[in-house]
Structure 1
Amino acid sequence: VGMIRSEDDIAGNQLAKELIKKEKLNKLEIIYYDDYYELLNDLNSKTLTGIFIPGNYESLFIEDDLYSSISNNTVVYKSITKTIKKTSESGNKSTSEPFTILLLGIDSTVGDLRKNDAFRGDSIMLITFNPKTLSSTFLSIPRDTYVPITCRKNREMKINASAVSGTKCMIDTITNFTGIEIDYFVKLNFTGLVDLVNAVGGVDIDVPYSFCEQNSKRKWGKDTVFVKEGLQRLDGEQALALSRNRHFPNDPGAGEMRLQCPTYNKGPRNDFIRGQNQQLVVQGIIDKAKNIRSVDAFYKLLNTISDNMDTNMETEQILSFYEVGRNLLFNSKQGVKDSITMERLYLQTSNLMIHNVGSAEIYQKRSLEAIVKEMKINLGLIKADPVKTFSYDANVEVELVVIGKGLFDSTKRSTVPKFINQAKSVALNWATSNGKTIKVTEVGSDHPLYNEELDNNVVVGQSVPAGTVTDQMSSIEITVQIKK
C-alpha cells in the first residue's frame, strides 16, 4: 500500500498512520512516495493494491486525462476524519500598504472548503494592488504550468499538483516560482462564485464569443448554460460558465457541448483565454462592489458565501479593505475600470508532452521576468524605468502591449524521444547532440525483448521512458538486438 513520505502531509501521511493504528492494519507493507501522481500511476498499473489519499480525491483528480475514470475504478476501503486546527497565518499588511492576494477558483461544488485543505485549482490568479497609486496587476497562471513543487522536494510537476498537498504548498510553490511574497489568499468554489455574482446583482461583461457550458453542478441537457457574444449582464451561472470555458464544440472529448451548441465555434479558446475571461469576471465583481453601501450589506454578502470560501483574512481585515475600497470606488462616478488602473499580465508558455504528466505548459523565463518586474514596480519594491519620448502618428494603428506576451526564450526544453523500433544510430546521434551518456547493451534471440520482425541493430528497449524531460536526466541505456 502506498503512502506519502512527507510527515507534513496531513491526509497522505499523518491521517494515514492514524488509520493504520485505528483499524489495526499493521500487517500492511507500506511503500513511500513523494507525490500523489506517482501513487496513482502505480495503483493504475497494479503495482500497488491500495493507496492512502485525501477523502475528496475524486474532485482532485477527475479532470486529469490520466485519471478521468478514477471514481469508477476505485473503492474506499477504510476512511478516517479528524478536525485539525488551521495553521495558516493571517496577513498583517496595513490597508495603506501595497499587497498581494492569491485568488484560487476551486473545482468543487462541495460546501465548506475548510473541511479539506487539499483542493483542485480551476483558476490561479495572482493580484497586486497599490492603494497609493490605485494601480493593480492581474496574472492568471495556467494550471498546467510546469514548475518545481516546494513540498515535493522541488520536483517539477504541473502547478496544480501543489494544490493536492494544500494551500501552503500552493502558496510556497508560487512564491518560489515568481519570487513574489503572497500576503493573502482567497479560495472560492463553484457555488461560492455563483452566489457571489448573484449577490452583487450580476456582472456586466463584454463576452468575447458565444459558447455553452455545463452548470455549477456539472450538468448538461436542460441545465446547459448558454451565453452569446456581446456586452451584457451575466448572472452567477453564466459568469461561472465564462470562467470555466476553454473548449470548442468540435474539440476531441467535448462530448455534450458538441450536441448543445455545435455552431458556437468562434473565438480563440484555451487555458490562457480562460484566464483572461476569469479576469473579466473578477473585474466585473469589483465594479459592482461599489453598490454595497453599508457594512450590514457587506456582512450579508460574506455570510452568503462563507461556506464556499476559505481565506487567511480575518473578518476585521476584510471589513477594513472593504471600507478603503468602497471609499475609492464611491468617490469615482465612473466604473472601477476607469478609477483603478488594471494591468493584465500574460505568462507566455510553450506546450510539451511529458511522461507520466501529460500535456504541460513550459513557462518562458523572459516572459516571467517581465511580469515579475511589473509586479514589483506596482508593489513599490523597485522603481519603474524612465518613460522614453516617442512620436505619434494618428494614421498609424497602435497595438496595445500586454506585458509578458510574445516573449520566448532562445532555447526550448525538450523530451527524450522514443527510440524503440528505431536504428541504434538514431539514439547515439541524439545522445551526442544533447550531451548525454549512453550505454548500449546488445542482445540476441534468447532475450525476451528480441523481435524477429525487426532488423539488425534496432533498439528494443530504453531505460529512460520516452517523454522524460531531457534536462532531468544525464544518462540512458538502450537495448539493441543483434541478428546472427
Structure 2
Amino acid sequence: MSLVKKIIIVFLVLLTVVVASGTAYGIKVYFQVENVAHSIHRPIEGRQEAEVIENTEPLSLLLLGIANDARRQTDYRANTIMIATLNPVTKKTTLTSIPRDAYVEIVGQGYEDKINHAHSFGGAKMMIETVEQYLNVPIHHYFSLNMDGMADLVDAIGGITVENDFAFTAEDIYFEEGILDLDGWEALQYTRMRKEDPEGDYGRQRRQREVTEILANELVSLSSVMRIQDLLTIIGENGETDLTFSQMSQLFAQYQAALGTVESYQMAGSDFTGDGFRGEYGISYQEVSPEEQQATSQRLKSELTLD
C-alpha cells in the first residue's frame, strides 16, 4: 500500500477509535483530529463537488507524494502518483501507480511533459485534470503528503529497519547491502534513489513499498498519547486534501469494508531520452504504450462502474 493511503487509514482509524472510546481523552483527541482535518482542507476552486461519498458510490482518490522537504527545497513535483478506487459493493480497493516520468499532455500548459510536473505547474488542480484527461476517468478527491511528512513519521516511531539488496550512495549517505537501521532522513533518501538502481524508477518504487509497509505496520500499532499527538501534528503540517472532516468521517464509516481487500497495479512504460523535438534534449522520460494506457483506463472505469 502507498504511504499516503496508509496515513489516510490511520487518520480515520484514530478518529473512529477516539470517538468510540467515550472518554475525556477520547473527546480531546477527537477535537484535535477535527482541527487537523480543517487545517489540511484545501478545496479546489472551479471543480464541481463530487457527491459519491454522500451517496456511497464507487470512489476515486488521487494520492500524491510531493517532492519537497525542508533540507532540499524542490519544485513540488508529484513523485508518487496513485489512484485509489474504493468500491463499497465489491468491497475492494485498488491502487494504480502511474510512472512519475510518464510523457503526457499537461492540461493547461498546451504541451507534453513528465506527468509529475503538472503539480509544480498548477498544484493539485492541474495534477487532477491531467490525470483525468490521460486516463479518461473522474478523480473525486485527492490527498497529498510532502516528503517532510514521511521523514517525520519515521522519526516519530524511532526509525525503521530495512533489508537493502545492493550497496549504493545517496545524498552522501552510504547504504550497505543487508540489514540497515534508518532514521527519517536516511529512509527518505533510501526511497528516493533511482540512478544507481538497475531497475530504475521501478526499483525505487519497490523500496518505497518496502518502507511503506514497515512504516504502516508501526503506525497502526501506535497506542501512546505522545505518538498519537505526534502523528496528528505531522499530518497537519505536511498533508493537504479537499476532503472535509465530515467526508472523512463518512468515508471510513461507509467504505471500511472496501479497505479489507486491496489490489495493486503498476502502469508499465519504457525509457526514452528527449531529443529536443519530443521531450527536452537529454532528459529521461517514460513512454506508456496506448495499449497499456487504454487497459488501465478500462480497468479503472470498471472499478468505478462507469462501463
TM-score by length of 2: 0.67
Q: Which of 88, 92, 98 pairs up with 1:141? A: 98
Percent identity over paired residues: 27
Match for residue 17 of structure 2?
A: none
Superposed, 1:51-450 pairs within 5 Å as: 87=45, 92-94=51-53, 96-110=56-70, 119-153=76-110, 155-163=111-119, 164-199=121-156, 207-214=164-171, 220=172, 224=173, 226=175, 228-229=177-178, 235-248=183-196, 268-292=198-222, 300-321=230-251, 340-355=261-276, 357=280, 358-382=283-307
Name 2:21's counterpart in structure 1: none
Aligned residues: 258
The superposition leaves residues 444-479 of structure 1 with CA deviations (integer Å, 9 ceiling, x where unpaired) of xxxxxxxxxxxxxxxxxxxxxxxxxxxxxxxxxxxx
Alpha-carbon distance, 1:151 to partner: 0.5
Change (3 A) 1:285 1:91: farther
Select the structure with the greater relative contact order (CA < 8 A; seq sep ≥ 6): 2
Corresponding position of 2:30: none
Is the CA contact 1:211–1:227 (under 8 Å) kept in the aligned structure 2?
A: yes
Specify whether residues 308 and 348 from structure 1 end up closer, same or farther in structure 2 by C-alpha distance, changes over 3 A only. same
Q: Closer, same or farther in 2 for the Cα pair 1:210/1:100, shift >3 Å? A: farther
Change (3 A) 1:142 1:341: closer
Letter in 2 for 1:301: L
Deviation string for 1:37-86 (max 9, x for gaps)? xxxxxxxxxxxxxxxxxxxxxxxxxxxxxxxxxxxxxxxxxxxxxxx996
Q: SS where residue 151 of structure 1 aligns?
A: coil
Q: 1:49 aligns to what?
A: none
CA apart distance, 1:244: 0.5
Q: State whether residues 225 and 241 of structure 1, in contact with CA within 8 Å, keep that contact through their aligned partners in structure 2.
A: no
Shift of 1:210: 4.1
Secondary structure at the residue paired with 1:87? Answer: coil
Pick the structure with greater CA Rg.
Answer: 1
SS of the aligned residue for 1:123 comes to strand
Moved more, 290-299 or 135-144: 290-299
Q: Identify unmatched segments of 5+ residues in structure 2.
A: 1-41
The separation in 2 between residues aligned to 1:281 and 1:324, in whole angstroms, is 29
Q: How far has the Cα of 1:240 moved from its partner?
A: 1.7
How many angstroms apart in 2 are the aligned matches of 1:99 and 1:296? 33
Q: 1:242 to 1:380 in 2, by over 3 A?
A: farther
Distance 1:101 1:85, change over 3 A: closer
1:141–1:275 contact (8 Å) kept in structure 2: no
CA change 1:288–1:317 in 2 (3 A) is farther
Structure 2 Cα separation of the partners of residues 311 and 343 of structure 1: 22
More helix by share: 2
Contact 1:100–1:184 (CA<8 Å) still a contact in 2? yes
TM-score by length of 1: 0.45
Q: Which runs of 5+ in 1 are unaligned?
A: 1-83, 215-219, 249-266, 330-335, 383-484
Q: 1:165 to 1:341 in 2, by over 3 A?
A: closer
Residues 86 and 183 from structure 1, CA distance in 2 versus in 1: closer, same or farther, beyond 3 angstroms?
closer
